[in-house]
Amino acid sequence: MPFAVPNDPVVEARIRAIREEGGNPFYEYQIPQAALALKQGFGRLIRSRSDRGVLALLDHRISKQRYGQVFFDSLPDYAFNHQRRRRERFFDV
């Protein structure tokens, strides 16, 4: 998942500011920023209604961690599956 590098100076400063205000930087900054990056990447794949593509999210945290739903919710309408056969049929069209 596209989390920012935590030791980037800008990211460090934002994390520090959120902590100083008593917030949770992971949920208030890092997750929303990563979800935005995923959405932007998806937008580069699908630019018009006639475009087709597959977004493979291979990081198990997307479905195992509570915050994974934020990533799913950030995307436009999509079909979701775990079945290899369905993915293969997608490319047969």
Taking the domains of the chain in order of start, what are their residue ranges? Answer: 9-92
Question: How much is the average pLDDT of 20-24?
Answer: 97
pTM recorded for the entire structure:
0.79
Select from 60, 10, 59 the least CA-distant residue to 30. 10
Residue 29, pLDDT > 90, answer yes
Q: Is residue 93 scored above 70 in pLDDT?
A: no
State how far the Cα of 67 lies from the Cα of 35, in Å rounded to an integer: 10
pLDDT for residue 70: 93
Half-sphere exposure in the Cβ direction for 83 (13 Å, CA): 7
Return d(Cα 15, Cα 29) in angstroms, integer. Answer: 7
pLDDT of res. 12: 95
Question: What distance in Å separates the CA atoms of residue 75 and residue 34, rounded to the nearest whole number?
Answer: 12
**Span 19-45, average pLDDT:** 93
Residues 35-90: pLDDT tens digits? 999 999 888 887 887 888 788 888 888 889 999 999 989 988 777 877 778 878 87
